[in-house]
Amino acid sequence: MDAGMKRVALSQMAGVPGDIEATMARVLSDVEAAAREKADLLIFPEGIMTGYYSADLTAARVPDISAWLPELQRRAKSSRLAIIIGALVADGESIRNLALAIDEEGELVAQYCKRALYGKWEQATFTPGECSEVVVLAGIKTGLLICYDIEFPELTRQLAQAGAELIATPTALMAPSTEVAQVLVPARAIENQIFVAYCNRVGQEEELDFLGLSSIVAPDGKVLARAGGDPALILADLDLSEVGSSRSNSCYLDDLKRLQRGEEN
């Protein structure tokens, strides 16, 4: 594959609520599957390692991922496969909703904390993050967001302005919010002329029903791969040069700077 081409995989999966061992068996199976497909980067959904939702969740009830993270790092290194995976992590009495980024050398290079907390339950349960994160994974300048974050165009724009080529978004989108996956995700790609990989869950946790509809979208809004409502591993080859070529005639980021300075285009 050309050096500018990168293969990205999304694992649209259902965890096993309350059973981290069974969940991680599914995670590791998809790591193996993505490696067989020669993926460069594999993205998992929000909170998949630990589970995302429980109505009465407390820090004391959050599963400990410390026994599993080294195994993911080992698999990443042995497969030369960068991995982004969602997990809840207890920090004293607080809980952080994280996207853990492991590079192809097996190094944990980022622990992005979700900034935009959705609804009363998340706001009462999680401690929000305070900053954005761009990391290089398998040669891709990757901006990290989690679920509700991507519904704010300002947060994606910050990452694009920081040089991201791809926005990776672990997600736990619930029914009936199909418009987020089908309308807003392509819009974020188009308005920033950037790739977006949106990895949602399927299945249920208590009363929550997750939608699926994971997708990988090109800078022109073209959907390169999309899942339905069932577990799936989807892949797409990204030509990173499309970020530059999509901006060659008209660049939203540059034109925004002129607008903000009060200049004419």
Number of domain units in the chain: 1
Q: Which of 218, 223, 228, 213 is nearest to 192 (CA)?
A: 218
- The catalytically annotated residue of 46, 104, 165, 205 is 46
Amino acid at 179: E
What is the per-residue pLDDT across 193-242, written as a single tens digit (0 to 9) for each? 999 999 999 999 999 999 999 999 999 999 999 999 999 999 999 999 99
CATH number, domain containing residue 101:
3.60.110.10
Amino acid at 18: G
Residue 166 and residue 197 in contact, taking contact as beta carbons nearer than 8 Å: yes
pTM of this prediction exceeds 0.75: yes
Phi then psi for 38, rounded to 5 degrees? 60, 40
What is the per-residue pLDDT across 6-58, written as a single tens digit (0 to 9) for each? 999 999 999 998 899 999 999 999 999 999 999 999 999 999 999 999 999 99
What is the per-residue pLDDT across 141-158, written as a single tens digit (0 to 9) for each? 999 999 999 999 999 999
Give the pLDDT confidence score for residue 73 in this predicted structure: 98
Verify whether residue 114 is a known catalytic residue: yes
β-pairing, 195-199 with 215-217?
A: antiparallel
Mean confidence (pLDDT) of the chain: 96
Residue 150 and residue 178 in contact, taking contact as beta carbons nearer than 8 Å: no
Verify whether residue 46 is a known catalytic residue: yes
Taking 70 as the threshold, does the pLDDT of residue 1 lie above it? no
Verify whether residue 113 is a known catalytic residue: no
- The catalytically annotated residue of 6, 104, 113, 114 is 114
pLDDT more than 70, % of the chain: 98
Host domain of residue 104: 5-261
Residue 225 and residue 233 in contact, taking contact as beta carbons nearer than 8 Å: no
- The catalytically annotated residue of 147, 199, 205, 242 is 147
Give the pLDDT confidence score for residue 41 in this predicted structure: 98
Give the pLDDT confidence score for residue 3 in this predicted structure: 67
Cα distance between residue 142 and residue 193, in whole Å:
14
